[in-house]
Structure 1
Amino acid sequence: MPLFGAHLSSAGGICNALRAAGELACETVQLFTKNNNQWTGKAVSPEDAAEFRRLTKSHGLKFVTSHDSYLINLASPDDVLWQKSVTAFVDELRRAEQLGLAYLVMHPGAHVGSGEEAGLKRVIQGIDEAHRQTPDFKVKILVELTAGQGSSLGHRFEHLATIFDGVEESKRLGVCFDTCHVFAAGYPLAPEADYQRTMTEFDNLIGLNRLKLFHLNDSKKPQGSRVDRHEHLGQGHLGEEPFRLIVTDPRFAKLPMILETPKTNADDEQMDPVNLGVLRRLREGLEGRKD
């Protein structure tokens, strides 16, 4: 069965995200290991790292994942910003490795006018440099598919195919498939025939074997809008059907699936339990059919 979780706050200490995951009965979790809007953060102490690993085990969490800083732009044509981004990205990898994380999710970045080809070359160079500086690390980089706002790269499957083809140690890479982003980028995820066509295109260009993690988010904006706005499951333009198709797809039966939906609704109701409930209900339907 797929493993469900959410992106949870590490405010007040990175271990707090794991405690919150335990309270929500999550099977996986994503977090920031530092403030995502800062270039640097407080170092992870050996004591915190040990407690983090203990809580990961005690709560039975698998494929614990971090997301890198939104400031990082490995596609930047500006040499100073690019080098600053590489340094920050390597730091993210070191923090993730220290905590024993499975994955570090990253956005390819934005070419900011240099063009897609030039931007993708910079991304490849940045990942190669990060790999050279972390030769024995176990944590795997997951390149996230994006909605394609502005000059952001990663909104076409071809972009990721280019990255995987160009990176020297591409076996150290995987893909994070964000449903809101892919839908906003123009790919249909329902009805089933369209869903299957999208997955076949992904497989042909990138390979389903590279898909390691889902971000499950509905979309406030319509298909092809190229606007990244997450919505509660079943309450946006995607509806519930794409999530049913994904969580019941036997090809993804062992993958982690993480919510990045809004934390509250208009009535200030806590929504992680509600959105997790939707996923669990859909998963129970799969279990029922197996019985």
Structure 2
Amino acid sequence: MTKFVGAHVSASGGVDNAPLNAMEIGAKAFALFTKNQRQWVAKPLEVKTIDAFHKNLEASAILPKYILPHDSYLINLGHPEIEQLEKSREAFIDELERCRILGLDKLNFHPGSHLSKIPKKDPEYNDKLIQAESHCLDVIAASMNKAIEATKDSTVKLVIENTAGQGSNLGYRFEHLGHIINKIEDKSRVGVCLDTCHTFTAGYDLRTREAYDETMGAFGRIVGFEYLMGMHINDSKPKLGSRVDRHASLGQGEIGWDTFKFIMNDTRMDDMPLILETIDESIWAEEIRALYALIEDKQ
């Protein structure tokens, strides 16, 4: 059983600093933004920065397959307005190219939002909402297909992150993920990242052995573990099914330590990046050690 745990580390001052920051906390994996996540445009990566990134990555002994870059929070591949949708698609393709240039093989992203403005007093609100969600999922899949076609010489995988379902964000049901994947033409370029906080607040319980097995069984049936390419390891401030995205440090939220023990002893999560996005980065090294301590000796 081989687990690769890390955290979403800072790339402030340049992406080449991310491997160094991962080393400082004893990480065997890490996530990063390859550009400012709150800006649409960034200058191209310089050769010296790319070279320094590779040098520092080699020093960290972390392989590229255990790195899970995240795209900009501004991107919405399901945007209902054409101009904003095209802007998101262009930015997403640029993010994929930045990953390729750095020698990374994944890009993690939130699928998208329909930004529905349907008033709840509308007597047909529920029907219209279902239609908006279905249409948005199709737009997200179309955006992904366009991005894959635009980067067809690349092997970077588009890794969809499940969401908490806050606001009009889609991807909070396993059926949403399955719907998107089903419409992807080149399925060798698509994967999924499961966030424990998002999974829990979307309504999937993980806290007991029975609940964990039921939730993971549903994921396996509806999505398929062949698509699981990473996890975000977070506790949750909000309660089960709250549809609110607020992370907590491990053991300090509504999920609790048992869930993380189940994950650390689940071979289906071997050989992939397991990334902390917990709220107190000063204890990331401690949380990483605590997670490894949960692994049971099977001999």
What's 1:172 paired with? Answer: 189
Q: Are residues 1:190 and 2:191 paired? A: no
Matched ranges for 1:230-249 at <5 A: 230-249=247-266
Letter of the structure 2 residue corresponding to residue 274 of structure 1: E
Tell me which of 91, 110, 117 is aligned to 1:88.
Answer: 91
What residue ranges of structure 2 are gaps of 5+ in the alignment?
A: 117-130
Say which SS state the counterpart of residue 294 (structure 2) adopts.
Answer: helix
Asked if 1:200 corresponds to 2:217, the answer is yes
Return the offset for 1:102. Answer: 2.4
Preserved CA contact (<8 Å) 1:68 1:105: yes
Which range moved further: 59-68 or 28-37?
59-68
Separation in structure 2 between the aligned mates of residue 75 and residue 149 of structure 1, nearest angstrom: 15
The secondary structure found in structure 1 opposite 2:158 is strand
Contact 1:233/1:278, CA 8 A, preserved across alignment: no
Q: In the alignment, which residue of structure 1 is the partner of 2:42?
A: 41
The size of the alignment, in residue pairs, is: 282
1:267 match: none
Superposed displacement of residue 101, structure 1: 1.1
The answer as to whether partners of 1:185 and 1:225 remain within 8 angstroms in 2 is yes
Percent identity reads 41
Q: Give the corresponding residue for 1:145.
A: 162
Farther-moved stretch of structure 1 (43-52 vs 70-79) = 43-52
Check the 8 A contact 2:75/2:88 in 1, yes or no.
Answer: yes
What is residue 128 of structure 2 aligned with on the other side?
Answer: none
Which region of structure 1 is more displaced relative to structure 2, 274-283 or 78-87? Answer: 274-283
* Residues 164 and 244 in structure 2, CA contact (< 8 A), matched pair in contact too: yes
1:66 aligns with 2:66: no
4+ runs deviating over 6 angstroms? none
| C-alpha separation in 2, matches of 1:233 and 1:278 | 9
Kindly state the Cα deviation for residue 54 of structure 1 after the two structures are TM-superposed: 2.2
The match for 1:52 is 53
Structure 1, unaligned runs of 5 or more: 265-269
Question: Per the alignment, in what secondary structure is the counterpart of residue 66 of structure 1?
Answer: coil
Distance in structure 1 (CA, Å) of the matches to 2:153 and 2:52? 23
RCO greater where, 1 or 2, for CA within 8 Å and sep 6 or more? 2
What's the TM-score, normalizing by structure 2?
Answer: 0.92
TM-fit CA distance, 1:228: 0.4
